[in-house]
Amino acid sequence: MSSKILSLIGGDADVGTSRIFWVGFVIVVILFALYPTQASEFRASNVAYYLLNIPLGLGMALLWGYCGVLSFGHVAYFGIAGYAYGIIAGNMAGNSFGPIAGVLGGLLASALVAGIFAYFVFYARVREWIIPILTLVLTLLLETFLGQTAGYQWRVGSVLLGGYNGMTGIPSFQIGSFVFMGYSFYYFCMVIVLVCYVSLRMLVNSNFGQVVFAIQQDPLRTETFGYDIRARQWLVFVLSAILASVSGLLYVQWGNYITPSQVGLLSAALPVIWASVGGRTSLLAVVIATIVLNWVTFTLSAQGNQYAMVIIGSALVITMLFFPRGIVIMAAEWIGRFTNRPTKSTGG
């Protein structure tokens, strides 16, 4: 049983199957765990921000890289979860179960919207370019809607939606009386990111994941083996929306606010860029790209850089032109060629 789980985690559906890789992986995890002992709470909190975006990036890799379905609007689920958490936890302020109810409500709301949306696009068997467009339209409409919710008449219970200024004063996450803030929030993010990565790695190595990958390679062929590919695409879409929601929940718990720009055009571009630059066919490559690119954009925007969108757009164009499989993946292959170590498959 446990050997089966290990072989699922270590399977060849993601890069890195050698013993050396896993030693390196553990060392990196330990370094991240030790980081707060060497850094101020402010810096740890910044790194927590890079980490909390990873589930969103992983969702993109799963959906686009492994399933072949592109979404330009997964930030919509990020936003829906964030706003729903704010509404529920905000209304239950003072109740220690509020944040947990907010998390559940946020995940549920996102999954519901994603499920209805995905039903229409997948069960209609639409052409593949239609999905990115409709997802983009959905998130832009959500931004427009949230943007016009300024004023006192737009409130749910005691929580104001806040229009373009956004929702503020969102409660942090807590279990019992323990509130996750600063260092503890950093570790909270780290654990969730690790759980997401490891369980997704198991998923893509499982039979389910292999069939999903087969759908990406040749949908018709997969269907002629008796698979209802619509149902699987639907499930993967909802799953990736839930991953986006996890990031959205962590985001509002981290900053205690959310604005409509989180579901706007620029934000919508970000996960696509993380997946493209990293290499969408590898979960790990996307994780690396998400951390690095968030660090870059965070640094840029902290300086109020007005070139941010130009830089991000150019990065996308250059990656698609010259590194179509992703910079991280192509760099890893390049390094692999030099060390010339045949990666042995341990997959089951």
Partner 1 sequence: MELDPLALSLIYQFGTNAAFLFLAALGLIVILGMMNIINLAHGELMMMGAYVATIAHNQAGLPFPLAVVVSFFSVALFGTVLELLIVRRFYGRELGALVVTWGLSLVLGQGTFLVFGPFMPAIKIPGGSYSYGSFSFSEYWLVLIGISIALVIGLYWLYRYTKYGLQARATMQNAEMAKALGVPTSRVYTLTFSLGAGLAGLSGALLAPTSTIAPFMGQQFVAPAFITVVVGGAANVISGAVGSSVLLSAIKTPIGMAFGAFLGTVALLVAALIIIRIMPNGISATIQKLMDRRRAASIS
Partner 2 sequence: MNGKFALEARNVSKHFGGVIAASEVNLQVSPGELRCIIGPNGAGKSTLFALLCGIQRAESGDIFIHEHNVTQMQPFKRIRLGVGLTFQTTRAFQDLSVRRNLAIPNPNLAVYKEGHQRGAKRLQIALEGFGLDPSDDTRAGELPHHKLQWLAISMVLAGYPDTVLIDEPTAGMSRDETDRTTEVLKQLNAHGLTIVVVEHDMHFVKSVAEKVTVLHQGRIFMEGNVAEVTANEDVKKIYLGHAH
Give the nearer residue to partner 2 in terms of CB position, either 128 or 218.
218
- Contact between 124 and 198 under an 8 Å Cβ cutoff? The reply is no
Q: Which of 81, 100, 295, 80 is nearest to 180 (CA)?
A: 100
- Nearest-approach distance from CB 82 to partner 1, in angstroms: 21
CA distance 114 to 29: 32
Residue ranges that bind partner 2, judged by CB under 8 A: 207, 210-211, 213-214, 217-218, 220-229, 345
With CB under 5 to 8 Å by kind, the binding choice for 229 among partner 1, partner 2, none is partner 2
- From partner 1, partner 2, none, which one binds at residue 269 (CB under 5 to 8 Å depending on kind)? partner 1
Asked if 246 contacts 196 with a C-beta cutoff of 8 angstroms, the reply is: yes
Q: Which among partner 1, partner 2, none contacts residue 315 (Cβ within 5 to 8 A by kind)?
A: partner 1
Q: In which element (H, E) is residue 174 found?
A: strand 174-175
Q: Which does 217 bind (CB under 5 to 8 A by kind): partner 2, partner 1, none?
A: partner 2
CB of 230 to partner 2, least distance (A): 8
DSSP string, 53-71: THHHHHHHIIIIIIT----
Beta bridge partners of 265: none
Residue 213 binding target from partner 2, partner 1, none, CB below 5 to 8 Å by type: partner 2
Distance CA 197, CA 177 (A): 28
Nearer to partner 1, 83 or 180 (CB): 83
Pick 103 or 277: Cβ nearer partner 1: 277
| Residue 300, binding choice from partner 2, partner 1, none, Cβ under 5 to 8 Å by partner class | none
Give the nearer residue to partner 1 in terms of CB position, either 128 or 333: 128
Nearer to partner 2, 153 or 217 (CB): 217
Residue 108 or 325 having the CB closest to partner 2: 325
**What residues have CB less than 8 Å from 67, skipping those under 6 apart?**
212, 213, 215, 216, 232, 233, 236, 237
What is the rounded CA–CA span in Å between residue 297 and residue 248? 18
Record the tokens describing residue 62, joined without a space.
């799963």
| Beta carbon nearer to partner 1, 52 or 241 | 241
Strand partners, 168: 257
- CB crowding 334-343: b at 16 or more within 10 Å, else e: eeeeeeeeee
Least distance (Å) between residue 337 CB and partner 2 = 17
| Residue 134 partner contact from partner 2, partner 1, none using kind-dependent CB cut-offs of 5 to 8 Å | partner 1
Can you read off the two tokens belonging to residue 205? 């190595």
Binding site for partner 1 (CB under 8 A): 64, 68, 70, 72, 117, 120-121, 123-130, 132-134, 136-138, 140-141, 144-145, 148, 265-266, 269, 272, 276, 306-310, 312-317, 320-321, 324
124 interacts with, out of partner 1, partner 2, none, CB within 5 to 8 A per kind:
partner 1
Question: Least Å distance between CB 223 and partner 2?
Answer: 5
Contact partners, residue 25, CB within 8 Å, separation at least 6:
16
**CA-to-CA distance for 217 and 230, rounded, in angstroms?**
15
- In whole angstroms, the minimum distance from the beta carbon of 235 to partner 1 comes to 19
Of 60 and 193, which has the nearer Cβ to partner 1? 60
Which residues make Cβ contacts (< 8 Å) with residue 93, sequence separation at least 6? Answer: 158, 171
